[in-house]
Amino acid sequence: MTQFIQLMGKMAPFLLLGFLLAGLMHAFIPGKFYARYLAKPNFRSVLNAALLGIPLPLCSCGVIPTAMSLRREGASRGAVISFLIATPQTGIDSILATYGLMGLPFAIIRPIAALATSLLGGMAAREQQTAVPTPETTDCGCEADTAPSTHTFAGKLREALRYGFVTMMQDIGKWLIVGLAVAALITIAIPTEWFAAFQSNTIASMLLVLCIAVPMYVCATGSIPIAVALMLKGLTPGAALVLLMAGPACNVATILVIRKAMGTRTLVLYLLSIILGAILFGCLIDYLQYHGLVDFLGSLTTSQADHCTHTSWLGWITSAILLALLANALIIHPHHHHHHQSTHQHTSNMRTFRIQGMNCNHCRMAAEQAILSVPQVSAAHVDLQKQEAYVEGSAPTDAIVEAVSKAGFTCAPV
């Protein structure tokens, strides 16, 4: 428990700032802005997608519906792959948290590595670009559909606070807590000598981390304390970077959606660019560390040593605020749209659909907006907890299923 509190105190100030900045970006930057510069199948679109995706605080499941929406709006295949690679690896919140817990060198190298791998994957996908489908007129991106309904500054500010400290925390809060708990457990349970065999074998340690990181789900912020705990147990900084890159960018859900939406060849290019990029940057970090050019471990060890002696008053206050906000988002109001279900529950022409593949509020909102885009749908509500959609109107069932499928999810009538 002590290790958990220490990690929380170190990250809390940066996490709160990151959540606030995430909300401000969401409320004040229109969703259409992100699709406007991604349509042409050229390097500029790939670069724009990476630069736009790096600061976005979307998790690896939340980025899927956003990317599928960009694709339907006309974004090129290379731009979509670039966006899918860059976005989950970083984010304003995770960059600030990386600086707070791992030091400035890691905070700098992490977005640079995300940019490089996204350009690699995007350009590889661009080379096998097929004809881009005609963009649909509807907008079902989770970023667009959650735009504030009011144009006043006060309204946007309220939306920023709601999104940053409620919606975002509902999406990644539990994974953040899991990451902290796993890190604390690693610190206590794993002997320091366990990773000694890998200290002189960078490639072996990276391959071990890849085998664990690629299939599992871990968000960009939640992966930080796990990487820190493993480094303090002897894992090389390069292998820790592999976890920070491959963990958030790859998981089973992302793999299945990319294969379904863009084909097996694009999926292979996506995975290869992440894996090769992670290994190359991991080797670079270990080279710099070994030759004393950049001290990744020094900043980490100093940060941890300073923190283990005491927790500052700022750490205690921000930890209390963060825990209170997490409790509000995950316990008190875990499903703030749930009340809509009772509104539609007794309507005679309501139909129920089972939707699979939703993992966060971004997924829920993308699926809901996709249904609402179907002609003759008068109302719709998607329940994230039950993985169900409640739809009113005379729209054909096949049209609803097709709309949800295009958003990247599996849908079937109940």
| C-alpha pair distances (Å), 108 with each of 88, 125, 189, 244, 296 | 16, 26, 30, 13, 11
333: in domain: no
* 84 vs 170, residue with greater confidence: 84
The domain that contains 364 carries what CATH number? 3.30.70.100
Mind listing the pLDDT tens digit for each residue in 202-259?
788 888 888 877 777 677 888 888 888 888 888 889 999 999 999 888 877 677 767 7
Instruction: Find residue 411's DSSP bridge partners.
Output: 355
% of residues, the chain, pLDDT over 90:
24
- Looking at residue 381, its amino acid is H
Mind listing the pLDDT tens digit for each residue in 102-123?
889 999 999 999 999 999 999 9
pLDDT at 341: 44
Would you say 95 and 110 are in contact if contact means Cβ atoms under 8 Å apart? Answer: yes
Domain match, 241 and 119 both? yes
Mind listing the pLDDT tens digit for each residue in 77-107?
899 899 999 988 888 888 988 888 888 999 9
Domain match, 318 and 347 both? no
Would you say 76 and 9 are in contact if contact means Cβ atoms under 8 Å apart? Answer: no
Domain match, 372 and 237 both? no
pLDDT at 61: 62
Helix/strand/coil for 337: coil
37: in domain: yes
238: in domain: yes
Domain match, 19 and 53 both? yes
The pair of three-digit structure tokens given for residue 327, joined into one six-digit string: 């409790």
Domain match, 132 and 211 both? yes
Would you say 333 and 165 are in contact if contact means Cβ atoms under 8 Å apart? Answer: no
Would you say 15 and 225 are in contact if contact means Cβ atoms under 8 Å apart? Answer: no
Domain match, 280 and 195 both? yes
Domain stops at, among 300, 326, 352: 326
CB-based contacts of 181: which residues, under 8 Å, 6+ apart? 4
313: in domain: yes
Structural domains of the chain, count:
2
275: in domain: yes
The parent domain of residue 345 ranges over 339-413
Domain match, 72 and 29 both? yes
> What band does 193 get if pLDDT is binned at 50, 70 and 90?
low
Domain stops at, among 275, 304, 326: 326
Please state the φ and ψ torsions of residue 34, each to the nearest 5 degrees.
Answer: -75, -25
Do the strands 350-356 and 388-393 form a parallel or antiparallel pair, or are they unpaired?
antiparallel
Can you give the length of the chain in residues? 414
Domain match, 264 and 399 both? no
Domain stops at, among 267, 298, 326: 326
Helix/strand/coil for 194: helix
332: in domain: no
Domain match, 322 and 387 both? no
Mind listing the pLDDT tens digit for each residue in 257-299?
677 767 888 889 999 999 999 999 999 999 998 888 888 876 6
Domain match, 389 and 256 both? no
334: in domain: no
Query: If we measure between CA atoms, which residue out of 62, 50, 80 comes closest to residue 22?
Result: 62
* 349 vs 388, residue with greater confidence: 388
Domain match, 227 and 316 both? yes
Domain match, 321 and 345 both? no
331: in domain: no
| H or E, element range at 350 | strand 350-356
